[in-house]
């Protein structure tokens, strides 16, 4: 501010900052019409408190600058600056982000807690500041989607969740801002924001300040006192008028016209009672008429207006050169226009900015600017064409990179090569989607867009990658996809492109798509899911989407539910409406249900399907008639903050609601009255509520806790259920009321006993991000969960094991999912504003079903004739495979009720033995697949290992009950007493070749030898390992023992003496899970948690060659084939692989040490940990394999890969790489 001006306002703010004002609050709202000087005051306050070291952070919103109009940047920017202000805060913030850097990308409500509230609490606890630091956020009205920030920030300020931090906010008096900052709210005394309305300040005080400002800026012109008074009067209360007037009069390019311009402005007739907008309009009109004289031809006038309109509607500030290239207008004409408009435009670093948003408001409003009007749709259409036309210049290898082997950063002279992408092409590539999404999509533009997608989109991605702007690719496609919903053909092409970007092309940028809500149909056959912009229906038999698309919402779909009879779907959206849909046709039923003034967060049907209840961020709950669509009665009011969750009681007479005000409330559905007092106890937002099946209890999820409530008394039942490490997002009762399921931001699902409050079993783990929604199936045997990792998963409630593969298909946050009543369909709601139903049950199967395990492969074994492999899995099945073809032989052997940990063939190959977590051992006929006799029972805990004796008459088993047992294979009876001696779980057992001895390895770190006849221990335990012994085996001649341990080593032992042979074999980076000898005893193979297989020379004690890599998870079991040149391995990645291990060093072709002449074959490549394919003598990767394809990638050493999902095989027969890479596309 000019010295001596705005003193009363600045003093008022200064008193608020210092805590000396009459009402000491943590928030101050400076509100004023456009041009009243809010930002100038903010900058003056910054200078003042900055000099006092009290300025903690600032964010100046600006609609001109993309980063400054992005609401998601506000809280992270403030957190970053606050970390520079406070070292303690910085340490807390770093700790938080080191654990999960992606927390920065969460929604504002979660950003606030994670990035500000929680780290600041540590600062407050130290009491380090004797004063209150200030954060300034200016021009809230210039930020897109600012409501999502205000909706969480303002309650946090009012509820003093950041004590010791003050917030100064400025904005125009827009209604959507007013409702957050000035709407009447029941908050604690002193918690309301202090307010200053600039447009209500007495005009005499404002005029006095404007007079001081004009005299200071115009004093060198010696303007007559009467004329100065007229200039002051014409300014009214608008400082922007006075500031623009000064720029117009004192234009450096027209100083000789200064006095004549004063006369022109003072000679304008004064209109009594004219509005401030009219005065400003007259000033802007005068400036435009000077810049675009009437003597110009229509074409010249059109060019000048196009230049001005481009500056107004550009995605970011542009240079004169870029405007010239985009519009095809001479650069000199652009420069002249900008020069003439210096009263409203200014240039900084060659970029053209608008001095004040009021000019953009003026020129985009036809009633105000008349013939100078900027039609935004037409201007964006013009810039869309211009951008698409410039992108026709895109081509393959646009920067002429010399080799495909070089990373961009390693290319010599990369900065010079990037100049091939001009600044105009850069702008076109970055903002084409921004402009297209703001047009009405005329036919010509659609054709141009179609042509771009077809011919140039891949080259566009290449250019964006070079410019390090890959995330912007997603932003462009996201906004165009939303705009293209009714342009179906191009929409499908764009969606394919979008999926390519999401899943394959960009491995360095992760999306934040999340499934937010799910629901099962009553018969458990269908599921509905919702993410940020989609509603999808899923068939649970096939795990695929149903082919019905539902469109209608104008904003995010937050909640979906099926009607009890499955014929209708209800959805609630951020567009503030509730809609009903026909599940067969996808057609909307009736008009949208309207009444809420803010986001609709939760919807539910009454048990009889005649009513719908909805909960909203407007703090109300509403009831609706499903037949008429009419609202039933008045809104249910009482909550002081957003309503997050609503539910009907089973008899339909009551509604439960959970809110950000930390309470749960019960409502009478007939009278609309609240029943009793609020249920209080949670320390944070209540995110989910649900009734028990008998209606006597409510369960709620919130602040890392789950709580049970008595619906009759409103009292809490027992203690909170504790276990989750983060917010609890969703809770539900089982149909029989005996269990509760909960989903949390700690990525887990947990089951709870409603009687005792105890957790049932281990957490259900598998999701890689927040679990947003959970539900029981109608029979209570399954739980479905939806997550921010974009997947839906099913769980067996008895075992806690995931059932099958995750349902995948969502590209964005899935906000809500639900089953239809008959279970044949799934509906899902999403942020693409659509609801989709998908039908796949009736489709014909294409090809033969792929066979394989659905879970970890725990154990593999080879038949004596090596024609068959047997595998045991966590999916509870045993399967037989043909060694040569990899094909499954017969049906899976089923009978175990839990994981199959160990399998083995009898010597004659006619039988298989299996041991399981169900504590039993079972025998199977390899010809028929039938179980032989009853299960062998006796162990008190998991059976971890089984083996046949050489003559096939006996079985040995080891168990977590610390014992080893012998069994008669004919009678199934236990032979003799248990072999006892181990002090911990027995992990592995084996017979010697002659059947006289048994060896065992245990978690007590020892190996023990036993007499197979007497059961007596032979000698002392073999000791040396520092951790669990996981696997043991005899050498073929019985003279040696090999052991693998969690201490990451393999050890050899002399069977006769028990002494170790040589040093431990070291190399694995994690637990050794399995070891085996080759047939001649000269080699050992080992499999490890480090995902590798290694070969060892038993004579030298040295590793042979490089580790064998290919499994994507733990290698759980390994065995040699034949002469020891082949290996079979099983893994927790659910695959079985056969390997030819003599391949290293076998390639005879000459490999030359040059980038251009690297030899490419299908057998000499390797895959690095980060997914890049490498060839010998070549450091840089040839190309990158997406993570989801690595687990099924056929490696050079593989001779077979067995998986339910098939495999991917690479061919380099036509590979063109290195310096020849440009020949892959014909010019």
pLDDT of 185 reads: 55
Tell me the HSE value of 724 on the side-chain side, using a 13 A CA sphere: 30
Return the beta strands (E) in 444-502 as ranges: none
**How many C-beta neighbours within 10 Å does residue 1199 have?**
17
Ordered DSSP codes for 23-45: S--SEEEEE--TTSSHHHHHHHH
Question: Above pLDDT 90, what percent of the chain?
Answer: 45
C-alpha span between 782 and 405 (Å, rounded): 49
Give me the residues paired with residue 764 across strands.
749
- Contact yes or no for 33/173 (Cβ under 8 A): yes
Per-residue tokens: 815: 């906000």
* Range of weakest confidence among 151-160, 395-404, 410-419, 817-826: 817-826
Higher-confidence residue of 682 and 176: namely 682
pLDDT of 809 reads: 62
**How many C-beta neighbours within 10 Å does residue 167 have?**
22
State yes or no: pLDDT of 1180 exceeds 90.
Answer: no
pLDDT of 569 reads: 86
C-alpha span between 526 and 821 (Å, rounded): 8
Tell me the HSE value of 887 on the side-chain side, using a 13 A CA sphere: 6
Nearest by Cα to 926 from 880, 862, 873: 880
State yes or no: pLDDT of 388 exceeds 90.
Answer: yes
- The number of residues in the chain equals 1227
Helix orientation angle between 331-340 and 320-327, rounded to the nearest 10 degrees: 120
C-alpha span between 509 and 1132 (Å, rounded): 27
pLDDT of 1058 reads: 94
Chain mean pLDDT for the chain: 83
State yes or no: pLDDT of 506 exceeds 50.
Answer: no
C-alpha span between 500 and 495 (Å, rounded): 8
State yes or no: pLDDT of 740 exceeds 90.
Answer: yes
pLDDT digits (tens, 9 = 90+) for 1071-1102: 999 999 999 999 999 999 999 999 999 999 99
Per-residue tokens: 230: 């007229």
State the pLDDT confidence band at 332, using cuts at 50, 70 and 90.
Answer: very high
* Range of weakest confidence among 28-37, 135-144, 1000-1009: 28-37
Per-residue tokens: 1178: 């070549």
Element (H, E) at 311: helix 298-313
Element (H, E) at 499: helix 488-500
C-alpha span between 1124 and 1141 (Å, rounded): 8
Please report, to the nearest 10 degrees, the dihedral formed by the alpha carbons of residues 984, 986, 987, 989 taken in order.
160
C-alpha span between 848 and 33 (Å, rounded): 69
- Contact yes or no for 829/575 (Cβ under 8 A): no
pLDDT of 1201 reads: 87
Bridge-based pairing state of the strands 351-354 and 517-520:
unpaired
- Contact yes or no for 39/60 (Cβ under 8 A): yes
pLDDT digits (tens, 9 = 90+) for 938-995: 999 999 999 999 999 999 999 999 999 999 999 999 999 999 999 999 999 999 999 9
- Contact yes or no for 180/154 (Cβ under 8 A): yes
State the pLDDT confidence band at 808, using cuts at 50, 70 and 90.
Answer: low
pLDDT of 941 reads: 95
pLDDT of 538 reads: 56
State yes or no: pLDDT of 106 exceeds 60.
Answer: yes
Per-residue tokens: 799: 């075992």
DSSP label at residue 787 = E
Give me the residues paired with residue 998 across strands.
991, 1010
pLDDT of 45 reads: 93
State the pLDDT confidence band at 1018, using cuts at 50, 70 and 90.
Answer: very high
Radius of gyration of the chain (CA): 36
C-alpha span between 975 and 1226 (Å, rounded): 75
pTM of the model: 0.53
Calculate ∠ Cα 1137-1142-1144, nearest 5°: 100
- Contact yes or no for 991/1033 (Cβ under 8 A): no
pLDDT of 529 reads: 52
Return the beta strands (E) in 16-103 as ranges: 27-31, 55-60
Q: Tell me the average pLDDT across 1173-1190.
A: 73
Let me know if 1038 is exposed, middle or buried by CB neighbors in 10 A (0-12, 13-18, 19+): middle
Question: Above pLDDT 70, what percent of the chain?
Answer: 86
- Contact yes or no for 962/1006 (Cβ under 8 A): no
Q: Is 813 left (phi over 0), alpha (psi -120 to 50) or beta?
A: beta
Q: What are the φ and ψ backbone dihedral angles of 1118, each rounded to 5 degrees? A: -135, 150
pLDDT digits (tens, 9 = 90+) for 1100-1139: 999 998 899 989 899 999 999 877 888 999 999 889 999 9
Q: Tell me the average pLDDT across 681-696.
A: 92
C-alpha span between 425 and 447 (Å, rounded): 20
pLDDT of 866 reads: 87
DSSP label at residue 474 = H
pLDDT digits (tens, 9 = 90+) for 574-611: 889 999 988 777 778 989 999 999 889 899 999 989 99
State yes or no: pLDDT of 847 exceeds 50.
Answer: no
- Contact yes or no for 138/39 (Cβ under 8 A): yes
Tell me the HSE value of 636 on the side-chain side, using a 13 A CA sphere: 28
* Range of weakest confidence among 12-16, 43-47, 724-728, 1170-1174: 1170-1174
Sign of CA dihedral 305, 310, 312, 318: negative
Q: Tell me the average pLDDT across 1177-1198.
A: 76
> End-to-end CA distance of the chain, in Å?
61
DSSP label at residue 193 = P
State yes or no: pLDDT of 565 exceeds 90.
Answer: no
pLDDT of 379 reads: 96
pLDDT of 40 reads: 87
C-alpha span between 60 and 83 (Å, rounded): 18
pLDDT of 827 reads: 55
Tell me the HSE value of 192 on the side-chain side, using a 13 A CA sphere: 11
Whose tokens are 């000791």? That residue is 1023
- Contact yes or no for 1013/996 (Cβ under 8 A): yes
SS3 672: coil
C-alpha span between 379 and 71 (Å, rounded): 25
pLDDT of 305 reads: 94
Sequence-ordered list of residues with C-beta below 8 angstroms from that of 424, at least 6 positions apart, any chain: 321, 322, 325, 326, 390
Per-residue tokens: 289: 């008429």
| CA distances to 406, 863, 887, 1125 from 1116, in Å | 37, 19, 21, 20
pLDDT of 543 reads: 46
DSSP label at residue 1208 = B
Ordered DSSP codes for 1053-1116: EETTT--EEEEEEE--SS-EEEEEE-TTSSEEEEEETTSEEEEEETTTTEEEEEEEE--SS-EE
**How many C-beta neighbours within 10 Å does residue 220 have?**
8
| CA distances to 243, 288, 341, 357, 1068 from 365, in Å | 22, 15, 19, 13, 70
Per-residue tokens: 1194: 């056929």
pLDDT digits (tens, 9 = 90+) for 815-844: 555 555 444 455 555 554 445 453 323 222
State yes or no: pLDDT of 1156 exceeds 50.
Answer: no
C-alpha span between 1003 and 1145 (Å, rounded): 39
State yes or no: pLDDT of 1171 exceeds 50.
Answer: yes
Q: What are the φ and ψ backbone dihedral angles of 607, each rounded to 5 degrees? A: -60, -30
State yes or no: pLDDT of 779 exceeds 60.
Answer: yes
Per-residue tokens: 1085: 């193979």
Per-residue tokens: 544: 């695929």
Let me know if 965 is exposed, middle or buried by CB neighbors in 10 A (0-12, 13-18, 19+): buried
């Amino acid at each position: 501010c000019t010295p001596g001006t705005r003193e009363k306002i600045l003093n008022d703010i200064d008193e608020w900052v210092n805590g000396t004002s009459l009402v000491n609050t943590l928030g101050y709202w400076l509100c004023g019409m456009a041009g009243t000087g809010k930002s100038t005051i903010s900058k003056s306050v910054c200078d003042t408190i900055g000099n006092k070291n009290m300025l903690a952070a600032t964010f100046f919103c600006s609609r001109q600058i993309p980063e400054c109009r992005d609401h998601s940047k506000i809280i992270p920017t403030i957190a970053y600056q606050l970390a520079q202000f406070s070292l303690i805060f910085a340490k807390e913030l770093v700790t938080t982000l080191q654990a999960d850097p992606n927390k920065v990308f969460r929604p504002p409500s979660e950003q606030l807690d994670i990035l500000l509230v929680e780290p600041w609490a540590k600062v407050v606890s130290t009491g380090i500041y004797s004063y209150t630091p200030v954060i300034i956020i200016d021009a809230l009205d210039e930020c897109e989607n600012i409501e999502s920030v205000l909706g969480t920030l303002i309650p946090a300020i009012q509820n003093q969740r950041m004590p010791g931090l003050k917030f100064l906010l400025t904005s125009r008096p827009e209604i959507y801002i007013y409702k957050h900052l000035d709407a009447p709210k029941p908050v604690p005394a002193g918690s309301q924001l202090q307010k200053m309305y600039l447009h209500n300040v007495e005009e005499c005080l404002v005029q006095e300040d404007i007079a001081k400002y004009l005299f200071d800026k115009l004093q060198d012109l010696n303007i007559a006192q009467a004329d100065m008074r007229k200039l002051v009067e014409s300014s009214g209360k608008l400082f922007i008028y006075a500031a623009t007037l000064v720029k117009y009069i004192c234009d450096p390019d027209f100083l000789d016209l200064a006095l004549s311009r004063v006369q022109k402005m003072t000679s304008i007739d004064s209109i009594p009672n004219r509005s401030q907008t009219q005065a400003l309009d007259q000033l802007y009109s005068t400036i435009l008429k000077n810049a675009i004289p009437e003597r110009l031809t229509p074409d010249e006038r059109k060019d000048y207006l196009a230049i001005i309109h481009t500056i107004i509607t550009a995605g970011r500030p542009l240079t004169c050169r870029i405007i010239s290239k985009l519009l095809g207008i001479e650069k000199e004409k652009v420069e002249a226009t900008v020069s003439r408009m210096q009263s409203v435009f200014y240039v900084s670093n060659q970029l053209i900015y608008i001095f004040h948003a009021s000019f953009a408001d003026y020129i985009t409003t036809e009633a105000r600017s008349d013939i100078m009007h900027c039609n935004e749709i037409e201007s964006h259409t013009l810039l869309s064409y211009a951008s698409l036309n410039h992108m026709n210049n895109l081509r393959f290898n646009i920067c002429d990179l010399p080799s495909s082997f070089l990373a961009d950063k390693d290319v010599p002279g990369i900065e010079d090569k990037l100049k091939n992408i001009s600044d105009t092409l850069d702008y076109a590539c970055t903002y084409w989607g921004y402009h297209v999404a703001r047009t009405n999509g005329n036919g010509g533009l659609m054709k141009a867009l179609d042509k771009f997608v077809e011919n140039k989109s891949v080259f566009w991605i290449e250019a964006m990658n070079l410019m390090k702007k890959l995330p912007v690719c997603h932003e462009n496609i996201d906004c165009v996809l939303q705009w293209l919903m009714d342009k179906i053909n191009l929409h499908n092409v764009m969606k394919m492109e979008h999926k390519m970007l999401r899943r394959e092309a960009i491995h360095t940028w992760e999306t934040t798509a999340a499934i937010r809500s799910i629901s099962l149909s009553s018969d458990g056959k269908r599921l509905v899911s919702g993410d940020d912009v989609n509603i999808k229906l899923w068939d649970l038999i096939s795990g695929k989407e149903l082919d019905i698309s539902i469109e209608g919402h104008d904003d995010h779909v937050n909640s979906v539910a099926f009607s009890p009879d499955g014929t209708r779907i209800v959805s609630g959206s951020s567009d503030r409406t509730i809609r009903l849909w026909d599940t067969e046709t996808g057609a909307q039923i009736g008009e949208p249900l309207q009444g809420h003034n803010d986001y609709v967060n939760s919807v539910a049907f009454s048990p009889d399907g005649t009513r719908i209840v909805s909960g909203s961020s407007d703090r109300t709950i509403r009831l609706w008639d499903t037949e008429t669509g009419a609202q039933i009665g008045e809104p249910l009011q009482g909550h002081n903050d957003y309503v997050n969750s609503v539910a009907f009681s089973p008899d339909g007479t009551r509604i439960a609601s959970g809110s950000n005000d930390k309470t749960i409330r019960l409502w009478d559905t007939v009278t609309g009255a609240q029943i009793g007092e609020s249920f209080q106890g949670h320390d944070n937002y209540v995110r989910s509520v649900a009734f028990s099946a008998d209606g006597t209890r409510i369960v709620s999820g919130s602040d890392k806790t789950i709580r049970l409530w008595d619906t009759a008394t409103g009292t809490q039942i027992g203690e909170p259920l504790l276990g989750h490490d983060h917010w609890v997002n969703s809770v539900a009762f089982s149909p029989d009321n005996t269990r509760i399921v909960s989903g949390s931001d700690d990525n887990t699902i947990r089951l709870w006993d409603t009687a005792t409050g105890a957790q049932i079993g281990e957490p259900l783990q598998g999701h890689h991000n927040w679990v947003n929604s959970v539900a029981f199936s109608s029979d209570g045997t399954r739980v479905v969960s939806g997550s921010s990792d974009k997947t839906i998963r099913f769980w067996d409630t008895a075992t806690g094991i995931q059932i099958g593969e995750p349902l995948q298909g969502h590209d964005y946050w899935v906000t809500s999912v639900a089953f239809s009543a008959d279970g044949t369909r799934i509906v899902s709601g999403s942020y693409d504003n659509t609801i989709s139903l998908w039908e796949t049950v009736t489709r014909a199967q294409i090809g033969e079903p792929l066979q394989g395990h659905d879970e970890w492969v725990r154990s593999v074994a080879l038949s004596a004739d090596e024609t068959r492999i047997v595998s045991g899995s966590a999916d509870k099945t045993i399967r037989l495979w043909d060694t040569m073809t990899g094909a499954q032989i017969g049906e899976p052997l089923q009978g175990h009720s839990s994981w199959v940990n160990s399998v083995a063939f009898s010597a004659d190959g006619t039988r298989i033995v299996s041991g399981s977590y169900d504590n039993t051992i079972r025998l199977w006929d390899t010809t028929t697949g039938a179980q032989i006799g009853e299960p062998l029972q006796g162990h008190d805990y998991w059976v971890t290992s089984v083996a046949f004796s050489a003559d096939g008459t006996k079985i040995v088993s080891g168990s977590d009950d610390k014992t080893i047992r012998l069994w008669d294979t004919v009678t199934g009876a236990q032979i003799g007493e248990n072999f006892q001696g181990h002090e911990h779980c027995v992990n592995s057992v084996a017979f010697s070749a002659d059947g006289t001895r048994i060896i065992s390895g245990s978690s007590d770190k020892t190996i023990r030898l036993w007499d197979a006849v007497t059961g007596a221990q032979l000698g002392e335990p073999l000791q040396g390992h520092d951790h669990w012994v996981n696997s043991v085996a005899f050498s073929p001649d019985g003279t040696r023992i090999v052991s693998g341990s969690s201490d990451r080593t393999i050890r050899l032992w002399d069977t006769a003496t028990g002494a170790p042979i040589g040093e431990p074999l070291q190399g694995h980076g994690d637990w050794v899970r399995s070891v085996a000898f080759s047939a001649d005893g000269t080699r050992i193979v080992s499999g490890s948690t480090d995902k590798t297989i290694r070969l060892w020379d038993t004579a030298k004690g040295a590793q042979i060659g490089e580790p064998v890599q290919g499994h994507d998870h733990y290698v759980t079991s390994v065995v040699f084939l034949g002469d020891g040149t082949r290996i079979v391995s099983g893994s927790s990645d659910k695959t079985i692989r056969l390997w030819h291990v003599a391949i290293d060093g076998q390639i005879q072709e000459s490999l030359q040490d040059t980038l251009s002449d690297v030899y490419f074959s299908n057998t000499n490549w390797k895959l690095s940990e980060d997914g890049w394919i490498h060839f010998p003598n070549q450091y840089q990767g040839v190309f990158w394999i997406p993570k989801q394809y690595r687990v099924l990638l056929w490696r050079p050493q593989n001779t077979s890969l067995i998986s339910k999902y098939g495999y991917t095989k690479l061919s380099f027969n036509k590979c063109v790489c290195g310096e020849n890479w440009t020949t892959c596309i014909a010019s």
